[in-house]
């Protein structure tokens, strides 16, 4: 049986781990929040009280952590202890250069590695409908593919080292821009005395259709249930979106890409965080821009 170590059991990691346990994988889990770890023990999780508790014959090490510096610290603590060809898979969202550096560290120790950030949020993690954007080798991807299928509905090997993170940067920059546009369209419609439900019915099936409308509509009681129906309790917080935009804009700068809308989106989210609204779901940017919160 494939032995997996999962490091980082927060909102996403705990749900991803739950799906692995339901599929009868042997999973050892580690998180600084021991209460989360204890909550997963009844469904089969083996608890690691420290990184040193993770057994060296582990086949796959998955990380889901807040930022690249923390991921690097974990890798530096672990890569010397594992058997060669152990697979390291980072599902965190970190910058492309950091991801490439981590791949090089693994390669130097004859370990396999993938960068595999996800899209789909907490709901996707819980329902096993995540999309994995993967960078690395075909060999490593084939080993991980059955595990990806347990945790998500789609995975794609986007290219070599760092390609997963590069794809995630493009995706989330587009998501931030489109969510702001969705908010502006609904705000205009409401100010024009349109029924928001009827406007949704048109926008969701016309040329303006997009995920931010169809699956995550930021207007209360419009479309499928979303954070807007729960006072913008986050599935994906504004602070995390700002982090991802900062990663994307770093790549924009390093490649001399022109992205004025991405830069403006970053500016808008920065203002939201400065106004102490970073704990809200990122879709609340649509209301924040309308000065309603």
Enzyme catalytic residues? 168
Residues 6+ apart with CB under 8 A from 6: 13, 16, 17, 20, 27, 28, 29, 30, 62, 64
CA 38/CA 45 separation, integer angstroms = 9
CB 84 within 8 A of CB 110: yes
CA 20/CA 8 separation, integer angstroms = 14
CB 237 within 8 A of CB 280: yes
Angle at 288 between CA 274 and CA 95, to 5 degrees: 55
Q: Which residue has the tokens 């489109």?
A: 178
CA 91/CA 31 separation, integer angstroms = 15
């Amino acid at each position: 049986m494939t032995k997996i170590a999962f490091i980082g059991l927060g909102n996403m990691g705990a749900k991803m781990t739950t799906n692995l346990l339901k599929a009868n994988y042997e999973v050892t889990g580690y998180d600084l929040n021991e209460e989360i770890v204890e909550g997963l023990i009844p469904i089969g999780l083996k608890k690691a009280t420290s990184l040193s508790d993770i057994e060296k014959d582990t086949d796959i090490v998955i990380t889901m952590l807040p930022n690249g510096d923390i991921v690097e610290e974990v890798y530096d603590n672990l890569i010397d202890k594992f058997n060669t060809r152990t697979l390291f898979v980072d599902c965190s969202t970190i910058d492309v250069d950091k991801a490439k550096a981590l791949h090089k560290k693994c390669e130097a120790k004859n370990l396999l590695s993938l960068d595999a950030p996800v899209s789909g949020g907490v709901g996707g993690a819980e329902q096993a409908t995540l999309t994995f954007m993967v960078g690395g080798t075909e060999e490593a991807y084939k080993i991980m593919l059955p595990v990806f299928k347990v945790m998500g509905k789609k995975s794609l090997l986007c290219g070599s080292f760092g390609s997963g993170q590069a794809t995630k940067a493009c995706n989330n920059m587009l998501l931030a821009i489109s969510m702001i546009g969705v908010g502006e369209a609904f705000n205009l419609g409401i100010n024009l005395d349109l029924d928001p439900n009827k406007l949704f019915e048109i926008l969701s099936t016309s040329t303006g259709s997009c995920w931010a409308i169809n699956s995550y509509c930021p207007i209360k009681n419009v479309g499928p249930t979303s954070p807007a129906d729960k006072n913008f309790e986050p599935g994906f917080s504004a602070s995390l979106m700002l982090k991802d935009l900062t990663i994307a804009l770093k790549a924009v700068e390093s490649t001399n890409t022109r992205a004025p809308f991405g830069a403006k989106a970053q500016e808008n989210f920065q203002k939201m965080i400065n106004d102490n609204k970073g704990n809200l779901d990122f879709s609340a940017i649509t209301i924040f821009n309308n000065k309603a919160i």
